[in-house]
Structure 1
Amino acid sequence: MSDFATLEQLDKLTTYYESLGPIVGVLLPFIEAFLPFLPLVVFVVANASAYGLWWGFLITWVGTVAGSYCVFLLIRYFRDTKLIRKLTSRKKMQKLIQWVDRNGLSPLFVLICLPFTPSVLVNVVAGISNIKKVNYFIVLFAGKFAMILFISYIGYDLRELITNPVKLILSIVAIIALWGVGKYFEVRLNRRVERDFKHIQQERQQQK
């Protein structure tokens, strides 16, 4: 009886969300790009559940790519202002920016593909760096495609997810695994940034 009530409430919630229209589905992940404390994964699942796997994926993908690229463009436009310089003056941020300039787009693509990476940080670092606008758009376009499609596939059928213990367990394992992979790359990236930054500092000292 409890499971039936839960499924009934879920159907009502999904129907209500769908009635708000796809504009809301696009707007929520767009806003999340500016406010990273909002749950992007929840918006992905909600859109996939309300509009189906492919339409839900497309709606979320458009919203999050548009929002992320707007953040990138805003930071790029205002990067020479005192406010942005102050916000990015921390030593760790400067290390990331220099490292991205040195290593290019590949590490950014990996970070964008991972659902638990703070996307606003990636967008800000890319905006401050010297990466070309069109190149970052391509990386953002491809990285978000992979990430949003994967989460949409896991969460597009919430009814089956709740009633099928095997799928629920596999989904939980997949999410935990993604979180673990993200942490692994984060730690590895931090080590590489530290190592490369020290190398850059040594090269500058030798040139003096």
Structure 2
Amino acid sequence: MNFAKHTNQKVFRLIILTVFVILVWISFRVYPAFFQKMYVLLLHGDVRGSVHFIRSYGPYSMIVSFLLIVFINTVAVLPNIFILAANGVIFGVVEGTIISWLAESVGVILSFILMRYFFHDVAHSVIIRSNALKRIDEFSGKQGFRVMLVARCIPYVPSGLITALGAVSSITLADYALATFIGKLPSAWIEVTLGHDLLSYQDHVMRLTLLIFLSIALYYFLARKKKQQ
């Protein structure tokens, strides 16, 4: 019974992974120029180039930006801070924040599901063999929501790293998703607004200064909490 259930789970996982790989492959085959161009822009951190590229899709630019951020956060390879900054320039701070917040949240939740579903068993076996790692796993399980909420609030923290840590911990998917949706909102707002204001800093000196100090204060708070624990 258990063997059959385990076999069915492995087959189901293989099917999901195969479908995901096929979808990614089809996307690359159908729109190779799109991915090549965005790879170059992200690799060089070209905000103005990203703005021009996304704007070139006209009425579909919002959809393109949303799907692009979802994809980047799902694969957790390339940074998306330049796309968030571009969103601030293209759509304004309010709409740019909403698009970036929703797209990032969806992307990291999908990434969490993939990481936990395919790699959690291996990570869990490592945790069991280490007392220190086991304590970390128990901590993340008991206070996982609060830990994830604080981590997601901090701007410019590597999203893939936080997702991976959450995937191998005991936090539930529901707690992870809720903490992500809540925590990603302030971090997305800071990243979008900073990107917007940096390209027109003459008009937003005061807000830009306040946001920089706010970001520093958040990092200080995180470092202090880590030291206390």
| Same fold, judged at TM 0.5 (above) | yes
In the alignment, the residues of structure 2 paired with residue 14 and residue 49 of structure 1 have an alpha-carbon distance, to the nearest angstrom, of: 7
Specify the alignment match of 2:90 in structure 1. Answer: 50
Find the counterpart in structure 2 of residue 143 from structure 1: 183
**Counterpart in the other structure of 1:19:** 56
Matching residue within 89, 99, 106 for 2:146? 106
> Which structure 2 residues correspond to residues 1-208 of structure 1 after superposition, within 5 A?
14-20=51-57, 21-34=61-74, 36=76, 38-82=78-122, 84=123, 95-156=135-196, 160-161=200-201, 163-164=202-203, 167-168=204-205, 171=208, 174-175=211-212, 177-179=214-216, 181-182=218-219, 184-186=221-223, 188-189=225-226, 192=229
* Alignment RMSD: 3.3
Counterparts in 2 of 1:41 and 1:105: CA distance versus 1, 3 Å: same
Consecutive unaligned residues of structure 2, counting only runs of 5 or more, are 1-46
Structure 1 segments unaligned to the other structure (5+ residues): 1-9, 193-208
- How many residues align? The count is 179
Aligned mates of 1:90, 1:32 — CA distance in 2: 32
Cα offsets for 1:21-76 (capped at 9, x unmatched): 22331133223324556333322110121122232222212221111001111122
How far apart are the structure 1 equivalents of 2:165 and 2:199?
39
- Give the Cα–Cα distance (whole angstroms) in 2 for the partners of residues 151 and 80 of structure 1: 31
TM-score (norm 1): 0.67
Is the Cα contact below 8 Å between 2:73 and 2:107 reproduced in 1? yes
Retained in 2: the 8 A contact 1:44–1:148?
yes
Matches of 2:99 and 2:92 in 1, distance apart? 10
Is the Cα–Cα contact under 8 Å of residues 45 and 152 in structure 1 kept in the other structure? yes
> Distance between the aligned counterparts of 1:90 and 1:179, measured in 2?
34
CA contact (8 A) 1:116 1:182 kept: no
- Check the 8 A contact 2:84/2:96 in 1, yes or no: yes
Q: Provide the rounded CA distance (Å) in 1 between the counterparts of 2:149 and 2:164.
A: 14
CA-to-partner distance for each residue in 1:113-136, whole Å, 9 max, x for gaps? Answer: 001222222222222222222222
Equivalent residues of 1:41, 1:115 under 8 A apart: no
2:215 and 2:197 mapped to 1: Cα distance?
20
CA–CA distance in 2 between the matches of 1:28 and 1:175?
Answer: 26
What TM-score comes out, normalization by structure 2 length?
Answer: 0.62
CA distance in 2, matches of 1:86, 1:31: 29
* Aligned residue number for residue 37 of structure 2: none
C-alpha separation in 1, matches of 2:100 and 2:85: 9
CA distance in 2, matches of 1:58, 1:133: 22
